[in-house]
Amino acid sequence: MISSWALERGATIRPDGTRFAVWAPDAKRVRVVLHDGGRRVEHEMDALDGGVWEVTVGEAPAGTLYAFRLDDGPADGLPDPCSRSQPHGVHGPSEVVQPDAYEWHDRGWTGLAMPDYLLYELHIGTFTEGGTCDSAIERFAELRDLGVTAIELMPVAEFPGARNWGYDGVALYAPHSAYGGPEGLKRLVDAAHATGLAVVLDVVYNHVGPEGNYLSQYGPYFTETYRTPWGPAVNYDGPGSDDVRRFVIDNALYWITEYHMDGLRLDAVHGIYDFGALHVLQELTARVHTQGTQLGRQVQVIAESDLNDPRLIRSTQRGGYGMDAQWADDLHHSLHVMLTGERAGYYADFTGCVEEIATALGERFVYAGRHAAHRGRRHGAPATDVSAEHFVVCIQNHDQVGNRAAGERIASLVPFERQKLGAAMYLLSPYVPLLFMGEEYGETNPFQYFVSHGDPELAEAVRQGRRREFEAFGWGEDVPDPLSEETFRRSKLCWRRAGEPGHAQLRTLYRDLLHLRAHERALRPGDARVRVAADDARGWIVLELVPSFADTLAVLFNVSDVTRDIPIGHSESARWSIVLSTSDPRYELHPERRRSPNAARAGETDDRRRVPQHGDAAGRVITVPPTSALVCRRERL
């Protein structure tokens, strides 16, 4: 189906030449400056209604470098706010791009429904040694074999220098030149689809990076009415905000249309302030869904929010914004405290007790209107009316790892058995799971915060800001230099580690857990009724998943360091059999030291798989080894 939307701002190649268009409502004169080697050629632009300027230049083919000169501004001009490419960085001229030049091969790809997402978050620069889109492609077959169905790319919009997490992007339409630019990103998406992987792009609409940010010279893109932790808020509801909203919504549609993205993950939407009648998040989501339908694809919009606010994902008919999913941090925080014992900073609001984890498993949020001491107020709202496929959960992500002073991963913080238990507790949850790159084999290289700002004052401000950020955690001065290239190098994955002892067993467990999710109807988010029981004193949780037309599964978690007899529902007409046990010898560092009576290969269904269970008419109990999880299927006799 042909899309009715096309990007009209920036540089558009047409039969009669290239049309340049830019919104600059306060300018009295605007020229497009074409850069031809050392020569500059200026073309006067015509003023249209609404502060838009345009001109068509007959000789400006793809590859032409250009900039916009506002009034008597710098002779070299400023980068285009809607630049599709910045080959010379954030301060250099923009490049004319022909969007249709790339030959796509994904005609039959239609995207995925949200319950079918098994997300894998990655940072292109550190995912591989090469640090490019093309080198990332080489690992896609491994991810698909692992059971991943979608990759989530940390932001790729052009940022200053060659090293950055991506949240300092300033050219929001330009894929970063060091990653491979526009063609490289299109090859990545095309290859992902050929491998059976959807692609979600992390986009940042709550702020724009500080270096190379020329937007305020063009118009009222920012407002002082609100402040964010990252600087002035984007102007979504003040004077001039109509075109600012268009700039952001066009950007979302651009990634879906020109780059065939299957979804967008919107960074920190709690930093988006809009008190107009139609919230920009609702408008953006509706436009993206409409565009996806016109393109014949399922497209998802996922929010990162720290508000525990279900309005984001409630339907518009019920007063919500209609987004497809949101990150739900409470399960992560509870699991992290349980696994590590850390209680500093925002972890102070969590105890890590099994009843708290059970609440997160059954009710989406731990904080759904409760008072949070760390915040000094009540936090969140109930969300049990929203189906489970609208919540994305994890045990690690770029924030929770990288926003530690030293960037340690779980594999560097807790013993092997706890790594396995933590993995099972979120991968067997009723929600949509997200893995952070390298987690599946227990990567021990850190993921640290790195930037490559060229402004010395800004660079020093970043250094000092990172130190202040960690004061609440008691991490002192032990903060790696974000400007050092070594900090970036340390953060790259070491893929050979995946085959080493311990790491290989962990990857096998992850693979089996992900494949179990793919094949068991009860584990498809939203398809099963969820019942949770817990005993805080004895350290166990039972998660029962009851689908309408498939087998019931029960997941038994023993978080204690001793073997427990865990009660489970009893029926004379049914018995329980093992589907998977994390204490299986295949997942053990030293299998000869701990052979569980429950250990067996996933998929076996004969008598060797029977669960050791005992009891009477009042109920049954199942013996579960310490620090482990057991998946059982209810079988009719």
Joined together, the tokens standing for residue 613 give 């269970």
Average pLDDT, the chain: 92
Q: State how far the Cα of 172 lies from the Cα of 213, in Å rounded to an integer.
A: 10
Looking at the fold, whether 37 and 76 belong to one and the same domain comes out as yes
Which H or E element spans position 303?
strand 300-303
pLDDT tens profile 188-202: 999 999 999 999 999
Examine residue 508 and state whether it is found in any structural domain, yes or no. Answer: no
Cα angle: 335, vertex 340, 345; to 5 degrees: 85
- 500 in catalytic set: no
Joined together, the tokens standing for residue 233 give 């808020």
Domain containing 32 equals 10-101
| CATH code (residue 53) | 2.60.40.10
446 CB-side CA count, 13 A: 18
User: Taking 80 as the threshold, does the pLDDT of residue 439 lie above it?
Assistant: yes
pLDDT tens profile 90-100: 999 999 999 99
Looking at the fold, whether 48 and 136 belong to one and the same domain comes out as no
Lowest mean pLDDT among 112-116, 334-338, 477-481, 527-531: 477-481
User: Taking 80 as the threshold, does the pLDDT of residue 522 lie above it?
Assistant: yes
Looking at the fold, whether 130 and 258 belong to one and the same domain comes out as yes
Looking at the fold, whether 176 and 247 belong to one and the same domain comes out as yes
Examine residue 628 and state whether it is found in any structural domain, yes or no. Answer: yes
Q: Are residues 631 and 586 in contact, defined by beta-carbon separation less than 8 angstroms?
A: no
pLDDT score of 615: 47
Looking at the fold, whether 235 and 287 belong to one and the same domain comes out as yes
Q: State how far the Cα of 460 lies from the Cα of 458, in Å rounded to an integer.
A: 5
User: Taking 50 as the threshold, does the pLDDT of residue 348 lie above it?
Assistant: yes
| CATH code (residue 563) | 2.60.40.1180
Joined together, the tokens standing for residue 371 give 């008072």
Sign, Cα dihedral of 402, 407, 411, 413:
negative
Q: Are residues 285 and 314 in contact, defined by beta-carbon separation less than 8 angstroms?
A: no
**Which of 327, 348, 377 is where one domain is finished?**
327
Q: State how far the Cα of 508 lies from the Cα of 502, in Å rounded to an integer.
A: 10
Q: State how far the Cα of 151 lies from the Cα of 135, in Å rounded to an integer.
A: 15
Q: State how far the Cα of 154 lies from the Cα of 200, in Å rounded to an integer.
A: 9
pLDDT score of 538: 97
Joined together, the tokens standing for residue 268 give 């920190």
What integer is the mean pLDDT of 618-624?
78
Examine residue 242 and state whether it is found in any structural domain, yes or no. Answer: yes
Residue identified by tokens 């009209």 is: 8
Looking at the fold, whether 89 and 126 belong to one and the same domain comes out as no
pLDDT score of 57: 97
pLDDT score of 607: 36
Residue identified by tokens 């008919």 is: 317
State the DSSP string of 335-391: HHHHHH---SGGGGG----HHHHHHHHHHS-S-SSEEETTTTEEE----TTS-GGGE
Using pLDDT thresholds of 50, 70 and 90, give the confidence band for residue 604: very low
Active-site entry in 190, 304, 329, 439: 304
The single-letter DSSP state of residue 610 is B
Using pLDDT thresholds of 50, 70 and 90, give the confidence band for residue 606: very low
pLDDT score of 461: 80
Residue identified by tokens 């890590």 is: 352
User: Taking 70 as the threshold, does the pLDDT of residue 572 lie above it?
Assistant: no
Examine residue 81 and state whether it is found in any structural domain, yes or no. Answer: yes
pLDDT score of 454: 84
Paired with 265 in beta bridges are 202, 302
Q: Are residues 121 and 435 in contact, defined by beta-carbon separation less than 8 angstroms?
A: yes
CA Rg value for the chain: 26
pLDDT score of 596: 45
pLDDT tens profile 384-424: 999 999 999 999 999 999 989 899 999 999 999 999 999 99
Looking at the fold, whether 162 and 299 belong to one and the same domain comes out as yes
**Which of 101, 131, 160 is where one domain is finished?**
101
- 607 in catalytic set: no
Residue 478 CB contacts under 8 Å (≥ 6 apart), including other chains: 405, 406
| Cα–Cα distance list, 385 to 300, 356, 388, 389 (Å) | 20, 19, 9, 12
| CATH code (residue 238) | 3.20.20.80
Examine residue 30 and state whether it is found in any structural domain, yes or no. Answer: yes
528 CB-side CA count, 13 A: 26
Structural domain count of the chain: 3
Amino acid letter, residue 77: G
Examine residue 448 and state whether it is found in any structural domain, yes or no. Answer: no
Examine residue 433 and state whether it is found in any structural domain, yes or no. Answer: no
Residue identified by tokens 């001793």 is: 562
What integer is the mean pLDDT of 510-519?
97
Examine residue 406 and state whether it is found in any structural domain, yes or no. Answer: no
Nearest residue to 512 via CA among 504, 410, 397, 592: 504
**Hey, is 545 helix, strand or coil?**
strand
Q: State how far the Cα of 537 lies from the Cα of 530, in Å rounded to an integer.
A: 22
Looking at the fold, whether 171 and 96 belong to one and the same domain comes out as no
Using pLDDT thresholds of 50, 70 and 90, give the confidence band for residue 471: low
State the burial class of residue 53 (Cβ atoms within 10 Å of its Cβ: 0-12, 13-18, 19+). Answer: buried
Looking at the fold, whether 56 and 155 belong to one and the same domain comes out as no
Q: Spell out the SS3 assignment of 17-55.
A: EEEEEEECCCCCCEEEEEEECCEEEEEECEECHHHEEEE
User: Taking 70 as the threshold, does the pLDDT of residue 599 lie above it?
Assistant: no
Q: State how far the Cα of 320 lies from the Cα of 360, in Å rounded to an integer.
A: 22
More confident call, 611 vs 368:
368
Looking at the fold, whether 138 and 188 belong to one and the same domain comes out as yes
pLDDT tens profile 368-386: 999 999 999 999 999 999 9
Amino acid letter, residue 23: W
Lowest mean pLDDT among 207-216, 461-470, 497-506, 620-629: 461-470
The single-letter DSSP state of residue 179 is G
% pLDDT > 90, the chain:
84
Active-site entry in 250, 267, 329, 544: 267
Looking at the fold, whether 308 and 245 belong to one and the same domain comes out as yes
**Which of 327, 360, 384 is where one domain is finished?**
327
pLDDT score of 305: 97
Using pLDDT thresholds of 50, 70 and 90, give the confidence band for residue 158: very high
Looking at the fold, whether 96 and 217 belong to one and the same domain comes out as no
pLDDT score of 571: 62
pLDDT score of 457: 82
| Cα–Cα distance list, 400 to 40, 51, 409, 448, 577 (Å) | 47, 42, 9, 11, 36
What integer is the mean pLDDT of 51-59?
96
Paired with 580 in beta bridges are 631
**Hey, is 561 helix, strand or coil?**
coil
